[in-house]
Amino acid sequence: MKVFQGHMPFGLHRTLPKMAAYMTMLRDPVDRGISEYYYALSRMVHPEHRTIKKMMLEEYIQMTPYANVQTKLIAGLDPGYDFLGGDCTDATLSLAKENLTKHFDLVGLTERFEETLALAKIKFGWKIRNYAAFNVTKGRPKKDQVPSEVRAAIAERYQYDMQIYDYAVSLFNAAIARNRDRVTEELRSIADAKKVSRPGAYYFRAASAVRKGISRIHSYI
């Protein structure tokens, strides 16, 4: 089974001898498309770097077969399905929504990472001693810096991911509302965990970057 950049398609519970707990973090599809392009553009070791460096962002979005990947991964489908370049349909979207509702213990959002982390602490009892945030891809424009027509093209190309993301936002907001008092408490705890020394922050960022880099390399093999 192919893993896409460290992400495993839904369905692992079918092969495990024990109960499985699912969690996922979805990302705004437009921002994700922008990030995906600039990450490949800035990494010479990326397997598609040579091809992508000849393309503009909008051209890459229209040419890549890897559209609506978040929807396809959450839907699961059959083990032989191409989760990268396979077709995505209304049925795929419906299955993805059903899986999020019935099988995922936590549905988080990249853009609201600390609130997601707070929910994870509540749901799974996680303990967080230190926490540091960093941006892996430097030099990429922010979403609102990309021309509106390009953003619209990305949204159209990733139409199913746009819909599953909106659905995830509704689930996320409902979870926040149900746990509002505890989320507020955990956010204070997370803020305290971020108060590490500068050398400590560098250490955690470097270690996280290495782990993420290894994960990405393995996903391309």
Q: What is the pLDDT of residues 60-73, one digit of tens each?
A: 898 888 899 999 99
214 or 172: which leads in pLDDT: 172
Residue 34 in any domain: the answer is: yes
**What are the pLDDT digits (tens) for 158-172?**
999 999 999 999 999
Of 189, 65, 168, 53, which Cα lies nearest the Cα of 118?
A: 189
187 lies in some domain: yes
Residue 3 lies in a domain: no
Q: Could you give the maximum distance between any two Cα atoms of the chain, in Å?
A: 50
Q: How far apart are CA 109 and CA 18, in angstroms?
A: 27
142 forms beta bridges with: none
% residues pLDDT > 70 (the chain): 81
Check residue 1 and give its pLDDT. Answer: 33
Residue 220 pLDDT > 50, yes or no?
no
Take residue 207 and report the two structure tokens written for it. 């270690």
Please classify residue 101 by burial: count the beta carbons closer than 10 Å to its beta carbon, then call 0-12 exposed, 13-18 middle and 19+ buried: exposed
pLDDT, one tens digit per residue, over 95-127 is 999 999 999 999 999 999 999 999 999 999 999
Q: What is the mean pLDDT of the chain?
A: 84
- Domain range for 64 is 12-220
The answer as to whether 53 is a domain residue is yes
What does the alpha-carbon distance between residue 88 and residue 96 come to, in Å, rounded to a whole number?
11
**pLDDT score of 3:** 36
Instruction: Give the separation between CA 79 and CA 82, rounded to whole angstroms.
Output: 8
Question: Model confidence at 10, in pLDDT bands (50, 70, 90)?
Answer: confident
CA distances from 192 to 60, 120, 188, 195, 206 (A): 41, 17, 6, 5, 20
CA distances from 19 to 7, 13, 14, 15 (A): 19, 7, 9, 10
Q: Give, in order, the Cα–Cα distances in Å from 212 to each of 31, 38, 58, 185, 217.
A: 19, 16, 26, 29, 9
Residue 36 forms part of a structural domain: yes
Residue 130 DSSP SS3: coil
DSSP, residue by residue, 51-107: HHTTS-HHHHHHH-S--SHHHHHHH---TTS-TTTS---HHHHHHHHHHHHHHEEEE
* 19 belongs to a structural domain: yes
Q: What is the pLDDT of residues 134-164, one digit of tens each?
A: 666 677 889 999 999 999 999 999 999 999 9
- Write out pLDDT tens, residues 20-40: 888 999 999 999 999 888 887
DSSP conformation letters of 141-159: PPGGGS-HHHHHHHHHHTH
- Please name the residue that has the structure tokens 């707990």: 21
Which candidate, 53, 57, 55, 85, places its Cα nearest to that of 72? 85
Provide the domain count of the chain: 1
Q: Is residue 1 part of a domain?
A: no
Domain annotation covers residue 6: no
